[in-house]
Amino acid sequence: LRCRTVYAFAREMYPKTIKHDISYGTAGFRTRATDLSYVMYRMGLLAVLRARYKNAVIGVMITASHNPEPDNGVKLVDPMGEMLEQSWEKWATKIANVTDDKLENVINDIIAEYNIENMNDRPEIVIGKDTRPSSLHLSKAVIDGVLAMGGKPVDYGIVTTPQLHYFVVCKNTRRAYGQPTEDGYYKKLTNAFKKVRGQNFNNGNYVNRVLYDGANGVGAKKIKYLKEGLEGSLIVDMYNDEIIGSGKLNYLCGADFVKSQQKFPTGLPQDPNVRCCSVDGDADRIVYYYLDENKKFHLMDGDRIATLIAGFLKEVLEKTGISLKLGLVQTAYANGASTDYITNELKVPVACVPTGVKHLHHKALSYDIGVYFEANGHGTVVFKNSAKEKLRTALETNNLSDEQKHATERLINIIDIINETVGDAISDMLLVETILHYRGWDIKDWEKAYTDLPNKLLKVTVQDRTVITTTDAERKCVTPEGLQAEIDAIVAKYPKGRSFVRPSGTEDVVRVYAEASTSQDCDKLAAEVAKKVF
Ligand code: 16G
Ligand code: ZN
């Protein structure tokens, strides 16, 4: 009977209206919201199958992150907060593209392939959505899919992407990670933050006030609750908080605008040397920046946040006297100056992996303490369970010196400021603020660590971007034959030159990245390489 409901619903309520295929990419499915109803319904079905297979709670997040307001998208969240396992991406793509009359076949194929026998289980599917006007009816489609397949939808309404990851992990760890409620999330973060900050809200050059650009999205809506919990320990002045239906989501503001345009967003007061930050449309990315006395814009992107965090963790870790392996993960987009600084000054091991959170997160898990960040501001820190245990045991055995004890306590509290399940703008902001406060730094002090090399990102539209394939964490192309040799020859002409090309995973374009010692050289280098791709 249930199966009949699945297919009747599919045909009558959520017929497949779009002929062209879509594919489950690095950010799940993402396209115009009007094309997504049947995809959402089908993702509801798939989430239940995945949950039965894993015997765990699975998450579904409805968002198109930094894309314009008329777009939307969906991604599945695996039991420990990871992105959907890669081997299931092809099933997501299949189930989304099959015609209504063949939907049953794909579902049966999945059941057979994974030997799913517990088809009567009613697993919980945790559902969240961003503030886009289309998200409401799209989440209803997901819920209908979950119900039709016999799952139990748990609708969290409007939440940030990282909040949804957090809920999934809380539920799957039987609350060991925290309470699976919004309130539980804010309490965990703010209690830890206040504990580390102590009674002195300011320190040295550090002032406890930050201007916050909410990108007119969920990050604006949620900061209001966080502020209550902070109780004045940090003053978050919010801007760009016109939320639902204003049409202004991510428009001339937000982390993606600031990072890709390298510009101050609209909507914030242009006071000199004031610390500002911007989050994106689902609040999983953050960048910091300021305008100087001459209104020159200075950006502190994901690379700089990563180095701030890694340098701090290294220092505190040394003070604990406990031996744990700290590592940092970047992508090819990381500014060469940041990589040099981490390697030569901080002396923390750095790994480079292909673009996309799943690759960074996975690699970070190979360290006891793994810091990962994309230059665009998406990142977090992950701690191995064994590392957390080692810290707690050391504290309990009580043979630490006072300094070691304070450092260990600090580190343990800091773990609770961090959302380890995925990059989280709100949690990252609290972590950055904690470190700046600890160091007594204003934003200019922070910037002094190293100087970014001028860099440029271009988009090139080609007939078929899949002809470009890459290796070495996307830093070298394999095909078309000869292209890499040409790029090498161009790069060699520029001091500190570096350039690579890769097909985008989210748009039908090829991306060209270049950096060099001067911005004139950088522009020339990018243009020359782009010409070879075209
Ligand atoms: C997706 C990725 C993001 C990456 C971006 C690159 C996730 C959750 N998101 O948005 O990490 O930076 O794609 O896009 O993995 P591109 O392939 O178009 O350059
Ligand atoms: Zn995002």
Does the model's ipTM exceed the 0.85 cut? yes
Q: Which residues, other chains included, contact 358 with Cβ-Cβ below 8 Å and sequence gap of 6+?
A: 26, 82, 83, 86
**To which H or E segment does residue 469 belong?**
strand 469-471
Q: What is the DSSP letter of 511?
A: E
Same domain, yes or no, for 97 and 119? Answer: yes
Same domain, yes or no, for 318 and 294? Answer: no
- Cβ contact 281:65 at 8 Å: yes
Say which CATH number the domain at 103 has.
3.40.120.10
- Give the separation between CA 233 and CA 282, rounded to whole angstroms: 25
CA atoms within 13 A of residue 296's CA, in its CB half-sphere: 5
Q: Strands 235-239 and 209-213: what pairing? A: parallel
Q: Given ligand 1 and candidates 23, 26, 513, which is best to mutate, with the most ligand atoms within 8 Å of its CB?
A: 26
Q: Is residue 271 situated within a structural domain? A: yes
Q: Is residue 422 situated within a structural domain? A: yes
The reply to whether ligand 1 has any atom less than 6 angstroms from the CB of 504 is yes
Atom of ligand 1 lying closest to residue 357 CA: 15
Same domain, yes or no, for 289 and 334? Answer: no
Ligand 2 centroid, distance to 389 Cα (angstroms): 32
pLDDT value at position 2? 60
For the chain, give me the number of helices (H) and strands (E)? 18, 19
Q: What are phi and psi of 15, to 5 degrees?
A: -65, 150
Q: Is 65 a residue of the active site?
A: yes
Same domain, yes or no, for 26 and 119? Answer: yes
pLDDT value at position 3? 67
End-to-end CA distance of the chain: 55
Place of tokens 């777009």: 71
Ligand 2 centroid, distance to 376 Cα (angstroms): 10
Same domain, yes or no, for 396 and 467? Answer: no
The reply to whether ligand 1 has any atom less than 6 angstroms from the CB of 505 is yes
Q: Is residue 59 situated within a structural domain? A: yes
Q: Is residue 169 situated within a structural domain? A: no
Same domain, yes or no, for 461 and 396? Answer: no
- Collapsed DSSP state (helix, strand, coil) of residue 515: strand
Same domain, yes or no, for 67 and 45? Answer: yes
Same domain, yes or no, for 139 and 233? Answer: no
Number of CB atoms found within 10 A of residue 416's CB:
18
**Protein residue closest via CA to atom 9 of ligand 1:** 27
- Collapsed DSSP state (helix, strand, coil) of residue 501: strand
Q: How many domains does the chain have?
A: 4
Select from 226, 42, 27, 266 the least CA-distant residue to 138: 42
Same domain, yes or no, for 196 and 290? Answer: yes
Say which CATH number the domain at 497 has.
3.30.310.50
pLDDT value at position 332? 98
Distances (CA, A) of 480 to 393, 457, 470, 490: 54, 21, 10, 17
Q: Is residue 436 situated within a structural domain? A: no
Low-confidence ranges of the chain (pLDDT < 70): 1-4
Ligand 1 centroid, distance to 356 Cα (angstroms): 5
Amino acid at 107: I
Q: Is residue 164 situated within a structural domain? A: no
Task: Tell me the residue length of the chain.
Answer: 534
Number of CB atoms found within 10 A of residue 511's CB:
22
Number of CB atoms found within 10 A of residue 195's CB:
16
Domain boundary among 298, 314, 339: 298
Same domain, yes or no, for 101 and 20? Answer: yes
Q: Which of 37, 65, 278, 499 is catalytic?
A: 65
- Give the separation between CA 254 and CA 281, rounded to whole angstroms: 7
Q: Is residue 442 situated within a structural domain? A: no
Same domain, yes or no, for 250 and 329? Answer: no
What crossing angle do the helices spanning 37-54 and 103-113 adopt, rounded to 10°?
20
Distances (CA, A) of 149 to 84, 228, 428, 432: 19, 40, 37, 43
Shortest-distance ligand to the CA of residue 424? 2
pLDDT value at position 148? 95
The reply to whether ligand 1 has any atom less than 6 angstroms from the CB of 356 is yes
Domain boundary among 277, 298, 319: 298
Q: Which domain holds residue 246?
A: 184-298
pLDDT value at position 285? 98
Q: Taking the C-alpha atoms of 55, 57, 58 and 63 in order, what is their torsion angle to the nearest 10 degrees?
A: 180
**Protein residue closest via CA to atom 2 of ligand 1:** 356
Q: Is residue 178 situated within a structural domain? A: no
Label residue 440 left, alpha or beta by phi (over 0 means left) and psi (-120 to 50 means alpha).
left
- List the structure tokens of 185: 């999330």
Domain boundary among 426, 442, 470: 426
**Protein residue closest via CA to atom 5 of ligand 1:** 356
Same domain, yes or no, for 390 and 527? Answer: no
CA–centroid distance for 357 within its chain: 6
Q: Given ligand 1 and candidates 86, 506, 507, which is best to mutate, with the most ligand atoms within 8 Å of its CB?
A: 506
**To which H or E segment does residue 238 belong?**
strand 235-239
